[in-house]
Structure 1
Amino acid sequence: MLDRYKKKGGFNQLLQLLETSPTTKREQFLGLISGESPAWEEALRKRILTIDKVYSWEGQYLVEIFSRVPPLTLANALHGAPPEQVEQLLSCLPPISKRKITDLLAESNPNPAEKSTCISKMLSEVRGFIAQGILKLERIDPDLLIPENIEEMLSLGGFTVPMPTYEQDATKKDAKPHVVGETTDPGAQQEVDFLKRKLNQLAAEVNALKHENSVLKDKLTQIKKIA
Protein backbone atom coordinates (compact mmCIF):
# COMPACT_ATOMS: atom_id res chain seq x y z
CA MET A 1 0.00 0.00 0.00
CA LEU A 2 2.80 2.42 0.84
CA ASP A 3 4.91 1.91 -2.29
CA ARG A 4 2.92 4.43 -4.34
CA TYR A 5 3.32 7.08 -1.63
CA LYS A 6 7.07 6.74 -1.04
CA LYS A 7 7.89 9.14 -3.87
CA LYS A 8 8.32 12.85 -3.16
CA GLY A 9 5.01 14.42 -2.17
CA GLY A 10 3.47 11.03 -1.42
CA PHE A 11 3.31 11.64 2.32
CA ASN A 12 1.14 14.72 1.79
CA GLN A 13 -1.13 12.81 -0.60
CA LEU A 14 -1.63 10.01 1.90
CA LEU A 15 -2.16 12.48 4.71
CA GLN A 16 -4.87 14.24 2.69
CA LEU A 17 -6.55 10.89 1.99
CA LEU A 18 -6.60 10.08 5.70
CA GLU A 19 -7.87 13.52 6.69
CA THR A 20 -10.80 13.34 4.27
CA SER A 21 -11.77 9.79 5.25
CA PRO A 22 -14.40 8.94 7.88
CA THR A 23 -12.90 8.10 11.26
CA THR A 24 -13.60 4.35 10.99
CA LYS A 25 -12.09 4.08 7.53
CA ARG A 26 -9.13 6.21 8.57
CA GLU A 27 -8.33 3.84 11.42
CA GLN A 28 -8.55 0.89 9.02
CA PHE A 29 -6.07 2.61 6.72
CA LEU A 30 -3.73 3.37 9.61
CA GLY A 31 -3.91 -0.26 10.72
CA LEU A 32 -2.84 -1.41 7.25
CA ILE A 33 -0.06 1.18 7.18
CA SER A 34 1.17 0.12 10.62
CA GLY A 35 1.44 -3.46 9.39
CA GLU A 36 3.79 -2.31 6.63
CA SER A 37 5.68 0.42 8.48
CA PRO A 38 5.10 1.51 12.08
CA ALA A 39 7.29 4.57 11.36
CA TRP A 40 4.92 5.75 8.61
CA GLU A 41 1.87 5.13 10.78
CA GLU A 42 3.37 7.11 13.66
CA ALA A 43 4.44 10.02 11.44
CA LEU A 44 1.04 10.20 9.75
CA ARG A 45 -1.01 9.89 12.93
CA LYS A 46 1.04 12.68 14.52
CA ARG A 47 0.31 15.06 11.62
CA ILE A 48 -3.31 14.25 10.80
CA LEU A 49 -5.29 17.46 10.99
CA THR A 50 -8.64 16.95 12.72
CA ILE A 51 -11.37 19.44 13.44
CA ASP A 52 -10.80 18.95 17.17
CA LYS A 53 -7.15 19.97 16.74
CA VAL A 54 -8.22 23.06 14.83
CA TYR A 55 -10.80 23.96 17.48
CA SER A 56 -8.08 23.71 20.15
CA TRP A 57 -6.04 26.52 18.56
CA GLU A 58 -5.97 30.01 20.01
CA GLY A 59 -8.51 32.60 18.92
CA GLN A 60 -5.98 34.65 16.96
CA TYR A 61 -5.55 31.69 14.60
CA LEU A 62 -9.20 30.63 14.56
CA VAL A 63 -10.28 34.06 13.39
CA GLU A 64 -8.01 33.67 10.34
CA ILE A 65 -9.90 30.47 9.48
CA PHE A 66 -13.45 31.41 10.43
CA SER A 67 -13.29 34.72 8.58
CA ARG A 68 -12.22 32.99 5.36
CA VAL A 69 -14.39 29.86 5.12
CA PRO A 70 -17.99 30.17 3.81
CA PRO A 71 -20.30 30.99 6.75
CA LEU A 72 -22.70 28.12 5.99
CA THR A 73 -19.78 25.65 5.89
CA LEU A 74 -18.65 26.83 9.32
CA ALA A 75 -22.20 26.74 10.71
CA ASN A 76 -22.79 23.19 9.47
CA ALA A 77 -19.41 22.05 10.82
CA LEU A 78 -20.32 23.46 14.24
CA HIS A 79 -23.84 22.05 14.18
CA GLY A 80 -24.53 19.80 17.18
CA ALA A 81 -21.62 21.10 19.23
CA PRO A 82 -22.40 22.12 22.84
CA PRO A 83 -23.56 25.77 23.06
CA GLU A 84 -20.69 26.65 25.39
CA GLN A 85 -18.15 25.32 22.88
CA VAL A 86 -19.78 27.24 20.04
CA GLU A 87 -19.73 30.40 22.16
CA GLN A 88 -16.06 29.91 23.00
CA LEU A 89 -15.03 29.20 19.41
CA LEU A 90 -16.95 32.11 17.89
CA SER A 91 -15.78 34.59 20.53
CA CYS A 92 -12.80 35.38 18.28
CA LEU A 93 -15.09 36.88 15.62
CA PRO A 94 -16.45 40.44 15.44
CA PRO A 95 -20.04 40.67 16.79
CA ILE A 96 -21.64 41.00 13.33
CA SER A 97 -19.82 37.96 11.95
CA LYS A 98 -20.56 35.97 15.08
CA ARG A 99 -24.28 36.82 14.85
CA LYS A 100 -24.35 35.70 11.22
CA ILE A 101 -22.93 32.28 12.11
CA THR A 102 -25.23 31.80 15.09
CA ASP A 103 -28.26 32.71 12.94
CA LEU A 104 -27.20 30.13 10.34
CA LEU A 105 -26.69 27.58 13.10
CA ALA A 106 -30.27 28.14 14.27
CA GLU A 107 -31.68 27.87 10.75
CA SER A 108 -29.65 24.99 9.31
CA ASN A 109 -30.20 21.33 10.07
CA PRO A 110 -27.53 19.32 8.21
CA ASN A 111 -27.64 15.54 8.25
CA PRO A 112 -24.50 13.64 9.38
CA ALA A 113 -23.22 13.30 5.81
CA GLU A 114 -23.61 17.04 5.15
CA LYS A 115 -21.89 17.93 8.41
CA SER A 116 -19.02 15.55 7.63
CA THR A 117 -18.65 17.10 4.17
CA CYS A 118 -18.46 20.60 5.67
CA ILE A 119 -15.84 19.50 8.19
CA SER A 120 -13.76 18.00 5.36
CA LYS A 121 -14.10 21.26 3.42
CA MET A 122 -12.93 23.23 6.43
CA LEU A 123 -9.90 21.00 6.91
CA SER A 124 -9.04 21.34 3.22
CA GLU A 125 -9.32 25.12 3.58
CA VAL A 126 -7.02 25.05 6.61
CA ARG A 127 -4.45 23.01 4.68
CA GLY A 128 -4.64 25.62 1.93
CA PHE A 129 -4.10 28.45 4.43
CA ILE A 130 -1.06 26.60 5.78
CA ALA A 131 0.37 26.12 2.29
CA GLN A 132 -0.19 29.83 1.51
CA GLY A 133 1.55 30.89 4.69
CA ILE A 134 -1.59 32.47 6.18
CA LEU A 135 -1.28 30.03 9.08
CA LYS A 136 2.20 29.32 10.50
CA LEU A 137 2.37 25.86 12.02
CA GLU A 138 5.69 26.61 13.68
CA ARG A 139 3.74 29.06 15.86
CA ILE A 140 0.47 27.17 16.14
CA ASP A 141 1.50 23.52 16.45
CA PRO A 142 5.09 22.60 15.45
CA ASP A 143 4.28 18.90 15.75
CA LEU A 144 2.14 19.19 12.59
CA LEU A 145 5.04 20.44 10.45
CA ILE A 146 6.07 18.16 7.59
CA PRO A 147 9.79 18.08 6.72
CA GLU A 148 10.55 18.57 3.03
CA ASN A 149 12.24 15.17 2.69
CA ILE A 150 9.97 13.22 5.01
CA GLU A 151 9.56 10.29 2.58
CA GLU A 152 13.32 9.83 2.44
CA MET A 153 13.62 10.13 6.20
CA LEU A 154 10.98 7.46 6.69
CA SER A 155 12.55 5.15 4.12
CA LEU A 156 15.83 5.38 6.06
CA GLY A 157 14.19 4.11 9.21
CA GLY A 158 11.88 6.86 10.28
CA PHE A 159 12.28 9.37 13.07
CA THR A 160 14.41 7.94 15.81
CA VAL A 161 13.31 8.62 19.35
CA PRO A 162 16.19 9.13 21.80
CA MET A 163 16.53 5.99 23.86
CA PRO A 164 18.21 5.93 27.28
CA THR A 165 21.57 4.15 27.47
CA TYR A 166 23.60 3.69 30.58
CA GLU A 167 27.14 4.85 31.28
CA GLN A 168 28.76 2.20 33.37
CA ASP A 169 30.89 3.54 36.18
CA ALA A 170 32.94 0.87 37.91
CA THR A 171 33.34 3.06 41.00
CA LYS A 172 29.60 3.39 41.52
CA LYS A 173 26.89 0.87 42.19
CA ASP A 174 24.29 2.59 40.02
CA ALA A 175 24.58 3.28 36.33
CA LYS A 176 23.97 6.85 35.13
CA PRO A 177 21.23 7.20 32.54
CA HIS A 178 22.27 9.06 29.41
CA VAL A 179 19.91 9.94 26.59
CA VAL A 180 21.43 9.68 23.13
CA GLY A 181 21.01 12.86 21.11
CA GLU A 182 20.66 15.16 24.10
CA THR A 183 23.25 17.36 25.78
CA THR A 184 23.69 18.59 29.32
CA ASP A 185 25.15 21.87 28.04
CA PRO A 186 22.26 24.40 28.18
CA GLY A 187 23.85 26.62 25.55
CA ALA A 188 24.35 23.76 23.12
CA GLN A 189 20.83 22.47 23.71
CA GLN A 190 19.37 25.92 23.01
CA GLU A 191 21.29 26.04 19.74
CA VAL A 192 19.98 22.61 18.76
CA ASP A 193 16.42 23.67 19.58
CA PHE A 194 16.85 26.87 17.56
CA LEU A 195 18.13 24.94 14.53
CA LYS A 196 15.19 22.54 14.77
CA ARG A 197 12.72 25.42 14.82
CA LYS A 198 14.52 27.07 11.91
CA LEU A 199 14.38 23.85 9.90
CA ASN A 200 10.65 23.53 10.52
CA GLN A 201 10.12 27.16 9.54
CA LEU A 202 12.05 26.70 6.30
CA ALA A 203 10.07 23.55 5.49
CA ALA A 204 6.81 25.46 5.94
CA GLU A 205 8.05 28.31 3.71
CA VAL A 206 9.07 25.87 0.99
CA ASN A 207 5.62 24.25 1.06
CA ALA A 208 3.99 27.69 0.81
CA LEU A 209 6.15 28.59 -2.20
CA LYS A 210 5.32 25.27 -3.86
CA HIS A 211 1.61 25.92 -3.47
CA GLU A 212 1.98 29.46 -4.84
CA ASN A 213 3.98 28.15 -7.80
CA SER A 214 1.29 25.56 -8.52
CA VAL A 215 -1.42 28.24 -8.48
CA LEU A 216 0.58 30.45 -10.84
CA LYS A 217 1.13 27.53 -13.23
CA ASP A 218 -2.60 26.84 -13.33
CA LYS A 219 -3.32 30.50 -14.07
CA LEU A 220 -0.71 30.54 -16.84
CA THR A 221 -2.25 27.43 -18.38
CA GLN A 222 -5.70 29.04 -18.33
CA ILE A 223 -4.32 32.20 -19.94
CA LYS A 224 -2.67 30.18 -22.70
CA LYS A 225 -5.95 28.36 -23.38
CA ILE A 226 -7.80 31.66 -23.69
CA ALA A 227 -5.10 33.11 -25.95
Structure 2
Amino acid sequence: MGMLDRYKKKGGFYQLLQLLETSPIAKRDQFLALIAGESPAWEEALRCRILTINRIYGWDPQYLAEIFSRVPTQTSGYALHGSPQEHIDKVLSGLPSISKRKITDVIAEVNPTPAEKSTCVARILTEVRGYINQGILRLEKVDPDLTFPENIEELLAHSYVNIPSFDSADPAKKDARPSVVGEAEEPSAAASSGLKDENDFLKRKLNQLSSELNAVKHENTVLKDKLSQIKKIA
Protein backbone atom coordinates (compact mmCIF):
# COMPACT_ATOMS: atom_id res chain seq x y z
CA MET A 1 0.00 0.00 0.00
CA GLY A 2 1.34 3.40 -0.97
CA MET A 3 1.84 6.18 1.53
CA LEU A 4 -0.96 8.26 -0.01
CA ASP A 5 -3.63 5.55 0.04
CA ARG A 6 -4.74 6.29 3.60
CA TYR A 7 -5.10 10.01 2.81
CA LYS A 8 -7.16 9.79 -0.38
CA LYS A 9 -10.47 9.80 1.50
CA LYS A 10 -12.28 13.06 2.23
CA GLY A 11 -10.30 15.12 4.73
CA GLY A 12 -7.11 13.18 4.10
CA PHE A 13 -5.39 16.05 2.30
CA TYR A 14 -5.83 18.25 5.37
CA GLN A 15 -4.55 15.52 7.69
CA LEU A 16 -1.45 15.03 5.58
CA LEU A 17 -0.94 18.79 5.38
CA GLN A 18 -0.95 19.02 9.18
CA LEU A 19 1.50 16.13 9.43
CA LEU A 20 3.91 17.88 7.06
CA GLU A 21 3.56 21.23 8.82
CA THR A 22 4.43 19.85 12.23
CA SER A 23 7.32 17.65 11.04
CA PRO A 24 10.97 18.75 11.19
CA ILE A 25 12.15 20.20 7.87
CA ALA A 26 14.38 17.20 7.03
CA LYS A 27 11.54 14.77 7.74
CA ARG A 28 9.10 16.92 5.77
CA ASP A 29 11.38 16.86 2.74
CA GLN A 30 11.58 13.06 2.99
CA PHE A 31 7.79 12.81 3.10
CA LEU A 32 7.42 15.12 0.11
CA ALA A 33 9.95 13.07 -1.87
CA LEU A 34 7.97 9.90 -1.16
CA ILE A 35 4.72 11.62 -2.11
CA ALA A 36 6.24 12.94 -5.35
CA GLY A 37 7.21 9.39 -6.25
CA GLU A 38 3.59 8.31 -5.93
CA SER A 39 1.83 11.41 -7.26
CA PRO A 40 3.50 14.62 -8.47
CA ALA A 41 0.06 16.27 -8.40
CA TRP A 42 -0.33 15.59 -4.67
CA GLU A 43 3.20 16.71 -3.93
CA GLU A 44 2.72 20.01 -5.76
CA ALA A 45 -0.68 20.68 -4.16
CA LEU A 46 0.69 20.02 -0.68
CA ARG A 47 3.93 21.94 -1.11
CA CYS A 48 2.02 25.05 -2.27
CA ARG A 49 -0.21 25.00 0.83
CA ILE A 50 2.18 24.08 3.64
CA LEU A 51 1.95 26.63 6.43
CA THR A 52 5.39 27.64 7.71
CA ILE A 53 6.42 30.09 10.40
CA ASN A 54 8.24 32.26 7.85
CA ARG A 55 5.07 32.40 5.76
CA ILE A 56 3.15 33.55 8.81
CA TYR A 57 5.77 36.23 9.50
CA GLY A 58 5.04 37.55 6.02
CA TRP A 59 1.38 38.21 6.80
CA ASP A 60 -0.07 41.64 7.52
CA PRO A 61 0.64 42.85 11.10
CA GLN A 62 -3.07 42.92 11.96
CA TYR A 63 -3.26 39.15 11.44
CA LEU A 64 -0.01 38.59 13.34
CA ALA A 65 -1.50 40.53 16.27
CA GLU A 66 -4.59 38.30 16.11
CA ILE A 67 -2.35 35.24 16.38
CA PHE A 68 0.27 36.29 18.92
CA SER A 69 -2.26 37.91 21.24
CA ARG A 70 -3.67 34.40 21.73
CA VAL A 71 -0.47 32.33 21.79
CA PRO A 72 1.15 31.92 25.25
CA THR A 73 3.97 34.41 25.85
CA GLN A 74 6.61 31.76 26.48
CA THR A 75 5.70 29.90 23.29
CA SER A 76 5.96 33.14 21.30
CA GLY A 77 9.29 34.07 22.88
CA TYR A 78 10.87 30.67 22.26
CA ALA A 79 9.64 30.60 18.65
CA LEU A 80 10.88 34.13 17.94
CA HIS A 81 14.25 33.66 19.65
CA GLY A 82 17.02 33.89 17.06
CA SER A 83 14.66 35.10 14.33
CA PRO A 84 15.58 38.08 12.14
CA GLN A 85 14.86 41.35 13.92
CA GLU A 86 12.47 42.46 11.17
CA HIS A 87 10.30 39.41 11.89
CA ILE A 88 10.29 40.15 15.62
CA ASP A 89 9.47 43.82 15.05
CA LYS A 90 6.64 42.94 12.67
CA VAL A 91 5.09 40.46 15.11
CA LEU A 92 5.29 42.93 18.00
CA SER A 93 4.11 45.97 16.04
CA GLY A 94 0.40 45.27 16.47
CA LEU A 95 0.50 44.08 20.09
CA PRO A 96 -0.24 46.12 23.24
CA SER A 97 2.81 47.48 25.07
CA ILE A 98 2.53 45.03 27.95
CA SER A 99 2.43 42.07 25.56
CA LYS A 100 5.43 43.40 23.67
CA ARG A 101 7.41 43.73 26.89
CA LYS A 102 6.56 40.23 28.06
CA ILE A 103 7.63 38.65 24.77
CA THR A 104 10.83 40.69 24.48
CA ASP A 105 11.69 39.72 28.08
CA VAL A 106 11.33 36.04 27.22
CA ILE A 107 13.45 36.45 24.08
CA ALA A 108 16.19 38.20 26.10
CA GLU A 109 16.16 35.79 29.04
CA VAL A 110 15.94 32.36 27.42
CA ASN A 111 18.29 30.37 25.24
CA PRO A 112 16.13 27.56 23.85
CA THR A 113 17.62 24.47 22.27
CA PRO A 114 16.80 23.82 18.60
CA ALA A 115 14.34 21.14 19.76
CA GLU A 116 12.58 23.55 22.13
CA LYS A 117 12.35 26.25 19.48
CA SER A 118 11.07 23.73 16.93
CA THR A 119 8.42 22.49 19.38
CA CYS A 120 7.16 26.02 20.00
CA VAL A 121 7.06 26.79 16.28
CA ALA A 122 5.03 23.60 15.72
CA ARG A 123 2.63 24.68 18.47
CA ILE A 124 2.10 28.04 16.79
CA LEU A 125 1.43 26.36 13.44
CA THR A 126 -1.12 24.06 15.10
CA GLU A 127 -2.75 27.04 16.83
CA VAL A 128 -2.96 28.98 13.57
CA ARG A 129 -4.62 26.03 11.83
CA GLY A 130 -7.10 25.99 14.69
CA TYR A 131 -7.81 29.71 14.29
CA ILE A 132 -8.41 29.11 10.58
CA ASN A 133 -10.85 26.26 11.29
CA GLN A 134 -12.67 28.38 13.89
CA GLY A 135 -13.06 31.28 11.46
CA ILE A 136 -10.86 33.59 13.55
CA LEU A 137 -8.55 33.83 10.54
CA ARG A 138 -9.98 33.71 7.02
CA LEU A 139 -7.41 32.49 4.56
CA GLU A 140 -9.15 34.07 1.57
CA LYS A 141 -8.21 37.41 3.16
CA VAL A 142 -4.99 36.50 4.98
CA ASP A 143 -3.29 34.30 2.37
CA PRO A 144 -5.55 33.13 -0.51
CA ASP A 145 -2.87 30.88 -2.00
CA LEU A 146 -3.18 28.55 1.00
CA THR A 147 -6.87 27.79 0.40
CA PHE A 148 -8.09 24.57 -1.19
CA PRO A 149 -11.51 23.11 -2.09
CA GLU A 150 -13.21 20.55 0.17
CA ASN A 151 -13.11 17.90 -2.57
CA ILE A 152 -9.43 18.34 -3.34
CA GLU A 153 -8.80 14.61 -2.88
CA GLU A 154 -11.31 13.86 -5.64
CA LEU A 155 -9.82 16.50 -7.92
CA LEU A 156 -6.30 15.14 -7.42
CA ALA A 157 -7.50 11.58 -8.03
CA HIS A 158 -8.84 12.56 -11.47
CA SER A 159 -5.94 14.68 -12.65
CA TYR A 160 -4.50 12.02 -14.96
CA VAL A 161 -5.61 8.68 -16.39
CA ASN A 162 -4.02 5.96 -18.52
CA ILE A 163 -0.44 7.27 -18.34
CA PRO A 164 1.40 5.11 -20.87
CA SER A 165 4.87 3.59 -20.69
CA PHE A 166 7.16 4.94 -23.40
CA ASP A 167 8.98 2.53 -25.65
CA SER A 168 11.68 4.13 -27.79
CA ALA A 169 11.84 1.04 -29.98
CA ASP A 170 8.27 1.50 -31.16
CA PRO A 171 7.96 4.54 -33.47
CA ALA A 172 4.22 4.65 -32.85
CA LYS A 173 4.84 5.25 -29.15
CA LYS A 174 7.48 7.93 -29.49
CA ASP A 175 4.89 10.68 -29.69
CA ALA A 176 2.65 9.21 -27.00
CA ARG A 177 1.76 11.56 -24.17
CA PRO A 178 0.04 11.08 -20.79
CA SER A 179 -3.71 11.09 -21.31
CA VAL A 180 -5.24 14.02 -19.44
CA VAL A 181 -8.90 13.93 -18.49
CA GLY A 182 -10.95 15.83 -21.05
CA GLU A 183 -8.11 15.98 -23.59
CA ALA A 184 -9.08 15.38 -27.21
CA GLU A 185 -6.37 16.86 -29.36
CA GLU A 186 -3.44 19.18 -28.96
CA PRO A 187 -4.72 22.77 -28.96
CA SER A 188 -2.97 25.71 -30.51
CA ALA A 189 -0.60 27.77 -28.37
CA ALA A 190 -3.09 30.63 -28.12
CA ALA A 191 -5.97 28.32 -27.22
CA SER A 192 -3.82 26.49 -24.70
CA SER A 193 -2.88 29.79 -23.04
CA GLY A 194 -6.51 30.87 -22.89
CA LEU A 195 -7.61 27.56 -21.41
CA LYS A 196 -4.88 27.76 -18.79
CA ASP A 197 -5.89 31.29 -17.77
CA GLU A 198 -9.53 30.23 -17.50
CA ASN A 199 -8.58 27.12 -15.52
CA ASP A 200 -6.47 29.18 -13.11
CA PHE A 201 -9.34 31.63 -12.63
CA LEU A 202 -11.81 28.84 -11.92
CA LYS A 203 -9.43 27.26 -9.43
CA ARG A 204 -9.04 30.54 -7.55
CA LYS A 205 -12.81 31.04 -7.58
CA LEU A 206 -13.39 27.50 -6.33
CA ASN A 207 -10.90 28.01 -3.51
CA GLN A 208 -12.57 31.28 -2.53
CA LEU A 209 -16.06 29.76 -2.53
CA SER A 210 -14.83 26.78 -0.53
CA SER A 211 -13.32 29.04 2.13
CA GLU A 212 -16.49 31.14 2.33
CA LEU A 213 -18.58 27.98 2.71
CA ASN A 214 -16.40 26.77 5.58
CA ALA A 215 -16.76 30.14 7.31
CA VAL A 216 -20.55 30.05 6.93
CA LYS A 217 -20.65 26.50 8.31
CA HIS A 218 -18.65 27.58 11.34
CA GLU A 219 -20.87 30.61 11.93
CA ASN A 220 -23.95 28.40 11.65
CA THR A 221 -22.54 26.02 14.27
CA VAL A 222 -21.84 28.90 16.66
CA LEU A 223 -25.37 30.28 16.21
CA LYS A 224 -26.89 26.85 16.83
CA ASP A 225 -24.91 26.53 20.06
CA LYS A 226 -26.07 29.97 21.22
CA LEU A 227 -29.68 29.14 20.38
CA SER A 228 -29.43 25.89 22.32
CA GLN A 229 -28.07 27.73 25.35
CA ILE A 230 -30.88 30.32 25.15
CA LYS A 231 -33.50 27.54 25.02
CA LYS A 232 -32.00 25.89 28.11
CA ILE A 233 -32.11 29.18 30.03
CA ALA A 234 -35.66 29.85 28.93
What is the TM-score when the length of structure 1 is the normalising length?
0.77
TM-superposed deviation, 1:107: 1.5
1:121 correspondence with 2:123: yes
Residue in structure 1 matched with residue 170 of structure 2 by the alignment: none
TM-superposed deviation, 1:42: 0.2
Inter-partner Cα distance in structure 2 for 1:19 and 1:66 = 18
Inter-partner Cα distance in structure 2 for 1:20 and 1:96 = 30
Structure 2 residue aligned with 1:200, among 204, 207, 232? 207
Q: Which moved more, 1:105-114 or 1:5-14?
A: 105-114
1:166 correspondence with 2:166: no
Inter-partner Cα distance in structure 1 for 2:33 and 2:112 = 31
Alignment of 1:61-72 (within 5 A): 61-72=63-74
Alignment of 1:1-227 (within 5 A): 1-157=3-159, 165-166=187-188, 178-181=192-195, 193=201, 199-208=206-215, 209=217
Alignment gaps of 5+ in structure 1:
168-175, 184-188, 218-227
TM-superposed deviation, 1:53: 0.4
Identity %: 61
Alignment gaps of 5+ in structure 2:
161-179, 226-234
The count of aligned residue pairs is 198
Counterpart of 2:49 in structure 1: which amino acid? R
Residue in structure 1 matched with residue 177 of structure 2 by the alignment: none
TM-superposed deviation, 1:201: 3.4
TM-superposed deviation, 1:199: 3.4
SS in 2 for 1:181: helix
CA contact (8 A) 2:135 2:218 kept: no
User: Residues 24 and 157 from structure 1, CA distance in 2 versus in 1: closer, same or farther, beyond 3 angstroms?
Assistant: same
Residue in structure 2 matched with residue 221 of structure 1 by the alignment: none
Counterpart of 1:29 in structure 2: which amino acid? F
CA RMSD of aligned residues (A): 2.9
What is the TM-score when the length of structure 2 is the normalising length?
0.75
CA contact (8 A) 1:71 1:101 kept: yes
User: Residues 81 and 182 from structure 1, CA distance in 2 versus in 1: closer, same or farther, beyond 3 angstroms?
Assistant: closer
Deviation sequence 1:137-182 (CA, Å, 0-9, x none):
111211100211000000001799xxx9426xxxxxxxx5751426
